[in-house]
Structure 1
Amino acid sequence: MGTGHDDLLVAAARDGDESAFRTLVERHRRELRVHCYRMLGSYHDAEDLVQETFLRAWKNIAGFQGRATIRAWLYRIATNACLDALDGRTRRMLPHHLSGPSNPDDDLAPPTDIHWLQPFPDRLWEPAAPSETEPDAVAVTRETIELAFLAAIQHLPPRQRAVLILRDVLGWPASQTATLLDNTVASVNSALQRARATIREHLPERRLDWAPTAAPSEEERTVLRRYVDALERADLATVAELLAEDVRTTMPPYPTWFRGRESVLRALATSWDPALPGYVGRFRTLPTRANGRPAVATYVRRPGEPDHRPFAISVFWFGGGRITEIVAFHDPGLFPAFALPPSLPGHR
């Protein structure tokens, strides 16, 4: 079911030609990474599972019969690898899914090893238009990479999650989905209906409250520029002007989170004031994008250090000309995925 060129590559790969195999599978790495990310909610795990997918594919390429495309075959392997990885694992979440808002006057709770959601770099899924050699490939839609959607599908059992992604995100027919999952069409359709009902319970009622637009408005870009400038100058007064009254900020892997402008400002004051014991240091930033949203990579120069080091990748939401939510992922290990430098000079 492939092109003549692909048939030649498959034949060569079956004979042990690793170069031919890499040519066959590497063209699908980007979309398989996104697929695994949707299934798992973790960028790091998605990377690992794509490698696991290719390893399983290499071990089994001799048995590939060509009844489906290489792409469909790889999706089958990737989906089952993800289902294996999810067996017995708790759902990924953000701090506000775990407990009520924190008191900004309390000490910052230490990081926890809960399975937190992770961001996904836009640069690794855009553009994602179908190619001439894979006309059945479906372009990645922004809303199905949005963090709210990722958090919602975490409430689904793994096989329901797989059905929803294959049917409603990738647009696979029920028969093909059933074949991939070794199930019946009736079971797939039943799982899809249950999954859709659960998703509706966990997504905001208004689509505009969670589904990103094609690009931030000029007003939103201005707000973000002002916020970044204020952050680098430790200017709390300007930050106060830019935050919505009911703004929410979360900071995984810290379980601490804050609701409301005053709480957020009190928390920031503790870490921005050099005279206080909770002082973090001076910040510099670089723009980026994650999960279809504007984002900022923050670097910190701690007291006594010469350079700014990776601190957090913050994703932003806006409404009414103000910032309504910030999710700051405090994981320096994510910076390479966003093609960000390992440090910034400390001249500022």
Structure 2
Amino acid sequence: MGADLRLEELDMNANDLGEIDEPAFSRLAERHRRELHVHCYRMLGSFQDAEDAVQETFLRAWRRRETFEGRSTFRAWLYRIATNACLDLLARRRPEPATGGEVRWLQPYPDRLLDELTADDADEPEAVAVARETIELAYLVAVQHLAPRPRAVLILRDVLGWPAKDVAELLGDSVNSVNSALQRARAGMREHLPAERQDWTGAEDDTSTRDLVRRFADASVATDIDAIAAMLRDDVRCSMPPTPGLYVGRDAVVNDWREDGFEEMTGLRAVPTAVNRQPALAFYHWRDPERAYLPLTLDVLRVSGGAITEIVTFHADQFPRLGLPERLPADDTSSPA
């Protein structure tokens, strides 16, 4: 069934929603779990915080089910609740937006879960909601630099395509206030988004990008910093949330790697994957006690003009939700494709 499924299509009306039992309500709400999770993830920048927000959304929806009047779709009603749940969470946990290009709470979103929303008709609202340009890490980082309410306005208007009057009703603001917030949010996005973002050609089916990712993996396994440096753009950016520190420029990035002793590392393996519609490499490190390669880090790459323009490195604690193996055996022959 389509994403804008109305209750009457289930032989229900607004009054019925207040009368159904919890299992039936859960089945109705669960249809929208993934798209709501992506919405909350975009608002919050954290996969785990998005999980919490969706759980809170379903709890609030169940408790307030009698307030559903049928004037909008059930899906839109859930989005309203989810957006407010995110705003409440932001007020409690992160009263200030990100600054300086860093988002220390940033977490990756596996493509295999995004694919759940794009398996059907590409014109469905769920598919539009996970278009690459609004789910890649550069967009997520820029969004997190906005104050919470302008952030909500931007996502509801520019990503989900809500009319200004609906956004105003959700936020309890006037249409003029919403339009003003949208203009400020768009200006903030232009300030924080990479200049070449619209020209990014990092799709998995792009041959040149796949070749660049393969060469980056090979050079990383060989700890050949000079070879890696040759693939980086002059103004490359590198970060490792939640560890503080944003390195900008090839020299700064390379110097940091050398100071960390990267060239002395041995026993690395790389497994290709994809998150946030970007190519990524999961690195494993050989450990003698376990006689296996264990998770080390995940590098998510942004590619533009045939060069790597950004590397966001995540810790090994992200591997399980990405569906990556917990270890590679000694005889594993996997290599980047």
Give TM-score, length-normalised by structure 1.
Answer: 0.81
Preserved contact between residue 290 and residue 315 of structure 1 (Cα < 8 Å) = yes
For 1:175 and 1:257, locate their aligned partners in 2 and report how far apart those are by CA, in whole Å.
39
Q: Which residue of 2 aligns with 1:111?
A: none
Q: Which residue of 1 aligns with 2:105?
A: 116
For 2:16 and 2:82, locate their aligned partners in 1 and report how far apart those are by CA, in whole Å.
22
| Residue 6 (structure 1) aligned with residue 14 (structure 2) | no
**What pairs up with 1:1-348 in 2 under 5 angstroms?**
2-8=6-12, 14-87=18-91, 89-91=94-96, 93=98, 97=101, 115-126=104-115, 128=117, 139=128, 140-208=130-198, 214-215=203-204, 217-269=206-258, 270-274=260-264, 279=265, 282-302=267-287, 304-330=289-315, 332-347=316-331
Q: Which runs of 5+ in 2 are unaligned?
A: 333-337
Q: Which AA in structure 2 matches 1:336?
A: P
For 1:259 and 1:87, locate their aligned partners in 2 and report how far apart those are by CA, in whole Å.
30
Q: Which residue of 2 aligns with 1:105?
A: none
Q: Which AA in structure 2 matches 1:289?
A: A
Q: Give 3-state SS (helix, strand or coil) of 2:115's partner.
A: coil
In the TM superposition, residue 322 of structure 1 has moved relative to its aligned partner by: 3.0
Preserved contact between residue 317 and residue 325 of structure 1 (Cα < 8 Å) = yes
Q: Which AA in structure 2 matches 1:334?
A: Q
Q: 1:55 to 1:255 in 2, by over 3 A?
A: same
For 2:133 and 2:296, locate their aligned partners in 1 and report how far apart those are by CA, in whole Å.
27
Q: Which AA in structure 2 matches 1:325?
A: E
Preserved contact between residue 280 and residue 299 of structure 2 (Cα < 8 Å) = yes
For 1:339 and 1:273, locate their aligned partners in 2 and report how far apart those are by CA, in whole Å.
29
User: What RMSD over aligned residues (CA atoms) do the two structures have, in Å?
Assistant: 3.0
Q: Give 3-state SS (helix, strand or coil) of 2:12's partner.
A: helix
Preserved contact between residue 37 and residue 54 of structure 2 (Cα < 8 Å) = yes
Quick one: percent identity of the two aligned structures? 49
Q: Compare 140-149 and 252-261 and name the one that shifted more.
A: 252-261
Q: Which runs of 5+ in 1 are unaligned?
A: 99-113
Preserved contact between residue 143 and residue 189 of structure 2 (Cα < 8 Å) = yes
Q: Compare 137-146 and 219-228 and name the one that shifted more.
A: 137-146
Preserved contact between residue 97 and residue 148 of structure 2 (Cα < 8 Å) = no
Preserved contact between residue 122 and residue 292 of structure 1 (Cα < 8 Å) = yes
Q: Give 3-state SS (helix, strand or coil) of 1:204's partner.
A: coil
For 2:85 and 2:201, locate their aligned partners in 1 and report how far apart those are by CA, in whole Å.
30
For 1:46 and 1:122, locate their aligned partners in 2 and report how far apart those are by CA, in whole Å.
16
Q: 1:187 to 1:251 in 2, by over 3 A?
A: same
Q: Which AA in structure 2 matches 1:67?
A: R
Preserved contact between residue 104 and residue 244 of structure 2 (Cα < 8 Å) = no
